[in-house]
Amino acid sequence: MIHLWVPLCGASARIATRPLQGPLLGPLLALLLTLGGAAGSLGLAGCAGTEIGVQEAAPAVFEGERTYAWSGSPPEAGRIGAPADQEAVAAAFRRALDSALEEHGFRKVNQNEARFRAGLYLGVEKDVREADPQFTVYRAERIEDGHVVFTLTEGAAAAPAWTGTASRLLRVTERGLGQLELRWTGTEEVRDWQVERLAASLGARLP
């Protein structure tokens, strides 16, 4: 008996089939690969959500003048993943975060007038998500996770004042299916940062 496992966002549906022999296995694998590529809802990574984290200094840090200017990337120690190298996406994030900062009483000024420095870093991590490999037929996906690190530092000493991080699945780059060895097929998915959504999630947590 062969069991096919289809993840359903936290649960797995097991479908029992009759034993596969000889020429039956090849067509089945081809069919499942076709279905997996055509229906994103069946993808293992499709269940991933957005993760938001915040670290902040004492509330007193934000008393008084709230002026800021952009200063590039956060310190290297606070970065997650390899640089995304997508300046157009970074510019879109900065515009969206400018609006969020303004809503929280911050005012954008020149570098030499700013009390706070805003930093932004976009990172990408590659990973593989797979079904339990003990089953006879299983699936896996090669994915890219995106990470946004947004920081506010204070003064010439760049004292940490506030850090917000957001992470989400950007895309599936390949899907694999097989028994003893996975057969990988590439996808045509592009990175989906969902800039407005992530920026709004971070902005909502500003002090």
Task: Determine what percent of the chain is predicted with pLDDT higher than 90.
Answer: 49
Residue 105 falls inside a structural domain: yes
Considering the domain boundaries, does residue 152 fall inside one?
yes
For the chain, the distance separating the N- and C-terminal CA atoms, rounded to the nearest angstrom, is 57
CB 170 within 8 A of CB 205: no
Domain count, the chain: 1
CATH number at residue 89: 3.30.160
Residue 179's pLDDT is 81
pLDDT in the model for residue 133: 60
SS3 content of the chain, % helix, strand, coil (to 5): 30, 40, 30
Average pLDDT over residues 76-102: 89
What is the rounded distance in angstroms from the CA atom of residue 185 to the CA atom of residue 175?
5
Range of the domain at 162: 48-203
pLDDT digits (tens, 9 = 90+) for 141-198: 999 999 999 999 998 888 899 999 999 999 999 999 888 788 999 999 999 999 999 9
Give yes or no for a contact between 19 and 1, defined as CB atoms under 8 angstroms apart. yes
3-state secondary structure of 61: helix
pLDDT for position 132: 67
Say if 158 falls within a structural domain: yes
Q: Is residue 135 part of a domain?
A: yes
Q: Is residue 29 part of a domain?
A: no
